[in-house]
Amino acid sequence: MATLTPSNSPKVVRRRVSTRRRAGSHLPPNNSQESHDAALYAIRGFLKGHTSYDAFPVSFRLIVLDTKLNVKKALQCLLLNGVVSAPLWNSETSKFAGMLTVLDIIHLIQYYYHTSNYDYAATDVETFRLESLRDIEKELGVATPPLLREHPSSTLYDASKLLIQTHARRLPLLDSDTETGHEVIVSVLTQYRLLKFISINCHKEVQQLHLSLRKLKIGTYVHNSSPGSVSEGHNPYYPIATASLNTPVFDVVHMFSERAISAVPIIDEEGVVVNLYETVDVITLVRLGAYQSLDLTIAEALTQRSPDFPGVVVCTASDSLGTLLQLIKKRRVHRLVVVEGEEEEKKGGKKGRLLGIITLSDVLRYVIGESGIGEGIEREEQKTEEVGSL
């Protein structure tokens, strides 16, 4: 597992003491609430002064899938290109038709698991078209994702607000052809791309975000800090969905679909985090045609995990927001599992035990400012379901 830790302190360089009197600084002290808030204001101002175009990488490729394409070929296309989502295009109307995400495939798996056998599922996926995915959602009773879009010239601040308000993890950017008037899919802005853009371009401000994740109330945390005291039949890690190495894969698939989340912490009998099972792991099984593998335990399924899995990134509630953003700049992170550290251990806790989970949605919501500066992003009781990310 990777651990979120502050970067090493810079080497101290001694210099001659000046006898000149220095002017008083107008900046707030480095480790104060005031300096933290000032950094947030500066970051928001930066986002208001830049457009979505500015966040585009120098070179990128855009995978767009026709709604007439069958699911299996679409899935192979995603995996071969190393992406987990793609815009959909209706070639009959020449219009944008939404996004294909891993969660769509999870819904499809759950539908087949409940309504047919493995052989039928394997055969039907060969012919099942992307345009029929919304019918599956209606059958399962899950909410249809909104048809979001934004213009590339919109400010990053406005794009961020739209992501937050709709609980979306990615935002398609559309323009129009001046000659035909048809829609043109330009790119897709993800939460990760947006936060990485901030961490790269607001380096000084990020360093000022020194307050702890616990104080800022970023993330979703276990309501009861003493899992052993919870009565039998109740989830001691509520509202976070958890599983053990002995949990069947399909039970976790059901959690993905029901809660619209993309990862579940795997814990041992003491609540210590030992791994993380993600929607991408399930997709790998489906691509291999191993539908019956959904009856395997998590421990058995993990042996078939892709060797490209980056590992589980853990942190403690005492780590700072700035350190988290610096990590996003260095590696591709979609979520962090918060575990009990030395501070909790001193109070009788267990080092490494699950304490919470932080998604990119949580981080973006705080940075953009859903609530007032200096306050927690939401009241704890309002955050019982949103624990997933992409």
pLDDT tens per residue, range 200-217: 999 999 999 999 998 999
The whole-angstrom separation of Cα 283 and Cα 289 is 10
- Environment class of 241 (CB within 10 Å of its CB; exposed 0-12, middle 13-18, buried 19+): buried
Average pLDDT value for residue range 59-77: 90
Report strand pairing: 183-190 vs 170-176: antiparallel
On the question of pLDDT at 120 being above 70, the answer is: no
Q: What is the pLDDT of residue 307?
A: 78
Task: Read off the pLDDT band of 147 (50, 70, 90).
Answer: confident
For the segment 246-257, the average pLDDT, to the nearest whole number, is 90
Mean predicted confidence (pLDDT) in 39-49: 96
Task: Give the chain's end-to-end CA distance (angstroms, integer).
Answer: 19
The label of the residue with tokens 């989830």 reads: 235
DSSP string, 294-326: GGSBHHHHHTTS-TT----EEE-TTSBHHHHHH
How high does pLDDT run on average in the chain? 82
Specify the pLDDT at position 389: 39
Peptide bond into 239 cis (omega under 30): yes
Higher local confidence (pLDDT), 384 or 91: 91
pTM confidence score = 0.81
∠ at Cα 358 (221, 233), nearest 5°? 40
In three-state secondary structure terms, 52 is helix
21 has pLDDT over 70: no
Closest CA to 101 of 87, 85, 77: 85
Residue 357: which pLDDT band, with cuts at 50, 70 and 90? very high
Q: Where are the beta strands (DSSP E) in 240-379?
A: 263-267, 273-278, 313-315, 335-339, 354-359
As a whole number, mean pLDDT of residues 32-60 equals: 93
Distance CA 178, CA 168 (A): 29
Residues composing the chain: 390
Query: Of residues 133 and 284, which shows the higher confidence score?
Result: 133
- Output the pLDDT for position 384: 40
Bridge-based pairing state of the strands 354-359 and 335-339: antiparallel
* Relative orientation angle of helices 321-330 and 360-368, to the nearest 10 degrees: 120
User: Quick check: helix, strand or coil at residue 83?
Assistant: coil
- Above 60 in pLDDT, residue 170? yes
